[in-house]
Amino acid sequence: IRSHVAEVMATCGLTEVSGRLIGHLSKGYRQRVGFAMALLGSPKFLILDEPTVGLDPTQVMEVRRLIQDLAQEHTIIFSTHILAEVTAVCERVVIINKGQIRAVDTIANLEASVGGDLHLRLKIEGEITKVTEIVRNTEGVLSVDDVEFDSQGVNAFTVTVASESVRKPLMSRLIAEDC
Q: What percent of the chain has pLDDT over 90?
A: 22
Q: What is the mean pLDDT of the chain?
A: 86
**Residue 25 pLDDT grade (very low, low, confident, very high; cuts 50, 70, 90):** very high
Q: Global pTM?
A: 0.56
| AA letter at 175 | I
pLDDT, one tens digit per residue, over 70-101 is 889 899 998 888 877 888 888 888 888 888 88
Angle subtended at Cα 111 by Cα 120 and Cα 92, rounded to the nearest 5 degrees: 145
Inter-CA distances, 92 with 45, 66, 83, 98, 106, Å: 15, 18, 13, 20, 4
